[in-house]
Every structure is written in C-alpha cells, then in structure tokens.
Chains A and B, each alone.
Chain A
Amino acid sequence: MLKSASYIYLVSRAHGLSTRLIKPNEYESLKKAKDLNSLIDLISGEEYVKRFSSVERDKLDASTLNRVFAEVLVDRLVYFTKISSGKFRDFMLSYVRRLEIENLRRVLRAKLGERKISVEDLLPIPRGYTIINFQDLVNVRSLDDVSYHLTPTIYRVAQESFAIAKSIGSTFPIELVSEAIYFSKLIDSAMALPSSRRAVEIIRSEYFSKLAYYILGLKFLDASLLPLEKFSSIIARNLGVSIDFINDLLRAREDTLINIILRSRYRWLIPYIENVIPSKSVTDLYRGVLKAFKGYYGGISKRYPLDMAYILWYLYSVEYEYLNLVQLATAKELGIPSEEIELY
C-alpha cells in the first residue's frame, strides 16, 4: 500500500524527535550524579532545561522534579498529537487518553479514601486532550459523584464496577475497567491506520504485559482474582483471544501460567518473568514486565523503522524516559549508589 504524505511526515518527525530522547550513555552519567542538583545539571534536554530554570534549587526534591518530568511527558505526547492529522490524529487523541486514565486513577483513589486532592496533584493535560472535566471532578464529594461525572464519557461502562469497588474498598476494579476501555478505543483507532496489524499487535502486547503483571502480582500476594474474572470478556476482546484463554490465565497456578504464556504469542515475556516466580517479588515482576515490553517493541521498531511501529516506539520511549527519570530522581534523593540503580 502506498504510504500517504502525512504518514511519512509523522514517521520522519518521530525519527527527528527521537534524537531528543536521553541516550543510554547519558543515563550512565545521570546514574553517577551526586545528588538532585547535579542530576538536573546533567540533564541537557532543552525541554527539561527551560523548566528547571523555574525550580528553586534550595527547595529541590524528587516530587518537584517528578512534576517537571510529567510536564515534559505530557507536552511531548500532546505535541505529537498536534502535528498529526486525519486518522493519525484520532489515534493520537486515543493514545493520550492514558494521561487522562492516570488522572482518573488519582481522583478515584482520593475520593475512595476521602482524602483531599487538587488539580496540582494531577498531570497537567491541556484542555481539548481530555474528555473529563478534572477541575470539577477533584471537587466532588464521593465516589458516586465521580461515577455520575463519567456518564457522558467513554468511561460510563466502568460505572458498573463502582459497586464492586465500594464493596471491596479498592479502586482496583474501576482502574482495570477504565484501562480496558482505554485499550479497546486505542485498538479501534489503531485498526484504521496503515500497518494497522503491527500497530494493533504492539498495543495488544502492551496490554497483555500489564495484564500478566496484574495476574501474577495478585497471585504472588495471594489476593483474589475474582475482580478480574468479571471482566474476562472485555479483556479477551481487547487482546483478540478467547475468554477461555483469559480464564485459564486467571485460574492457573504461577508455573502453569508460565506454560500458558509460553504457548501464546506473548512468549517473549517469559525470559523476563520466569525467574521472578520463586521469589514472588512484585517489584521484580514489574521491572521484568517493563523490560520485556521494551525489548519487544524495540525489536519491532528496528525491523520496521519506516512504519507505524517506529511511531509507537517513540511514544513508548517517551514514557520509559519519564519512568527512568522518576526513578533516578527518587534514587538520588534517597542517596542510592549508582550501581544499585537499575533503569528500564
């Protein structure tokens, strides 16, 4: 299929913008930074530097830096949405909803725990890139009011999970459904793109890696998987697999679960997670899943550098950079030696 000009333009922009990402050798020098002050001195990216100038050095802490990193993350994703057009723009608008999901998650947790939350505690998503009015949402009184606010949005399907969430006292089911709705919409918009098969496969792999983390993590913690079983159909639809496959994953023991994944198209996850099973460490599992997915989409983008896979590589790399910088800032604040910092 002949590629459209806008498609070529976007892939080229992704290549151009990727030069602004922090390189592996730069990470090595960032790891060696003495403290937070020297960390921000070493971050040379223009987007970061202009924001650091407004940060008071004597009041510098990891939370302040994390907010700066979050601003850059939001700006980069929004910028890519701005430069895209047509079906790509629709796809990007769906993609940036992950920021909205993150904000929704924060509001839900605060409302369930009856804690105060303000707009400053949320990611700064510009108007037009979110369908939820967070200004109003942070001021609602209860979880039921949040549910009411979601009625005119794509997240109304998640309203059913509010009752379960209240009964178990956890926002986990709502977060799970919201994420499922997000991926469902993202996959729909990815299907309309050229090279849609590859794009959908990458997105499904991201979703599956998250799902594997939830399932194994809950098993490690001896927690009930019932909240997940209620949503098997939506999860199966998103992944393009049978409900039985999902139910098998949910019901299997950890070692059997590894065998089930090994027989699926997501077997690339296994080398990163199988060694975590004996220790049952959720943190190691999280790291393993993130690394596995990075290796997976990195491999595809190398094979298809002039394709949608590269755009997705750029978008994911932006997020991984955010995760790495958050990790570095927190580690530097806690005085963790460089050799103990393990980036994704």
Chain B
Amino acid sequence: MSSIMGVSASRGALLEAKKQLQFIKKSTEILEMKRDKVASELNKYLNQLGKRSEVENKLIKFYKKFVDALVNVGHEEFKSASMVVSRMDTRLHRYLVMGIEEYDVEIINKPSVEAIPNLIIREIALEFYRIFLEFLDVAVIENKIEALAYDLMNTARKVNALQKIIIPSYQDLIRYIEERIMEEELSEFVRTKFIVDRKGRR
C-alpha cells in the first residue's frame, strides 16, 4: 500500500484526513475571527498612540513651571514640604484575553499631594501627579497595543499558513488518497473480472 505524508492510502486514512481538514477549516475560521477582532481592537487603540506626544508636551510645559517654582522656593523648602507626602503604592494586574496578555495598573494608595502645606509646591505636585496618571494610561495602552500587534502578527501568520499551506496540502492528500483508492478499486475490479473470465473459460 502506497503512502503520502506518512499516511497510507486507505479508506480509514481518507476519512481521518477529511475529518482533520474539517477541523482545520473550522480552526482557520475561528482564527480569522480572532484576527479580525484583534485588528479592530488594535484600530480602536491606535488613535490613542498620539496621546504620548500630547502628554510629553504637557510634561515639557510643566517642567518650565516646576523650575520656576523651585527657583522661587528653593531646594530646602521643596525638600521640607514634600516630606508630608505619603508613599504611593500600585498593583499590577495581569489578564489573559483570547490568549493575549494585558496589564492594568491599580493605584492602591494615592500619594497625599493635597497635604503639601506649601501652596506653590502643592500646585506643582498636583499637576505632576495628573501628568503621571496620564503617562500611566499611555503606558497601559502602549502595552496593550504591543501585545495586540504581536498577537495579530502571529494569528495572521497562522491563518496564512493554514489557508495557503496546510489546507491545500490536506486537500491534495485527500485528492491523492481518493485517486489511489479509485485506482486500487479499479485494479481490483479488473483483477476480479480477469479471474472471473478465466474461471468462466475453464
């Protein structure tokens, strides 16, 4: 019995190959759906990529203000007034959505910037904290975009491989097995006919 891809050309193998092809086609469909979903998710976040430069510009503008405040109150006062600010605690949450790793940052303890007794330093700290939160959002979004883009690339590659290599090769295999079976059936028929004819002639 001949074989292709390590599969013998039998009816059992044909049935198995057809079952596998059906399964692969269904998987391809699911992967296609995932690819489309990831692509739309990615599109949703892509327009938020510009937020980084926006926040960076805010930080540059804020830096000028910060320098101005530092010059006005001096290092000693800055150091002294910032002592009242409590520690900031954060927790990193990891999620798995459709096999994609996503992270979120939760602020457990906010730094008590409102408690700063020097009003100039309080103003600076409040603004800096606001910008810090925006940066945190940007970081979370950028991380999501990176994870989605990486997954999109992988999924698209898998879908392509399935559609252009695996499925055609399975279709070839099935076609080959079917042809082989048909050939074998034909030769069996001819052989049977030949034997029957010889028996009849006797």
- Chain A residues within CB distance 8 Å of chain B: 62-63, 66-67, 70, 105-106, 109-110, 112-113, 115, 117, 121, 168-172, 175, 213-214, 217-218, 220-221, 223, 281-283, 286-287, 326-327, 329-331, 334, 336, 341
Judge whether B199 is part of the interface by a CB distance below 8 angstroms. Answer: no
Contacts of A326 in B (CB 8 A): 74, 76
- The reply to whether A171 and B123 form a contact with Cβ atoms under 8 Å apart is no
Contacts of A113 in B (CB 8 A): 83-86
Judge whether B191 is part of the interface by a CB distance below 8 angstroms. Answer: no
Cα-based distance from A283 to B81 in the complex (angstroms): 15
Sample 6 A-B pairs with CB under 8 A, ordered by A number: A70-B76, A106-B80, A109-B83, A171-B117, A175-B117, A214-B119
Contacts of B70 in A (CB 8 A): 330, 334
Chain B interface category by residue count: 20 to 34
Judge whether B71 is part of the interface by a CB distance below 8 angstroms. Answer: yes
Judge whether B179 is part of the interface by a CB distance below 8 angstroms. Answer: no
- The reply to whether A341 and B123 form a contact with Cβ atoms under 8 Å apart is no
Using an 8 Å CB-CB cutoff, how does the interface string of B117-144 with A read, 1 for contact, 0 for none? Answer: 1011011001000000000000000000
- Chain B residues within CB distance 8 Å of chain A: 65, 67-72, 74-76, 79-81, 83-86, 112, 114-117, 119-120, 122-123, 126
Cα-based distance from A105 to B118 in the complex (angstroms): 10
Q: If A170-B117, A175-B117, A282-B119 touch, does A330 touch B74 (CB 8 Å cutoff)?
A: yes
Contacts of A330 in B (CB 8 A): 70-71, 74-75
CB distance from A140 to the nearest CB of B (A): 15
Cα-based distance from A283 to B114 in the complex (angstroms): 16
Contacts of A112 in B (CB 8 A): 83-84, 115
B69, closest chain A residue (CB): A283
Cα-based distance from A112 to B120 in the complex (angstroms): 19
Contacts of B76 in A (CB 8 A): 63, 66-67, 70, 121, 326
- The reply to whether A109 and B117 form a contact with Cβ atoms under 8 Å apart is yes
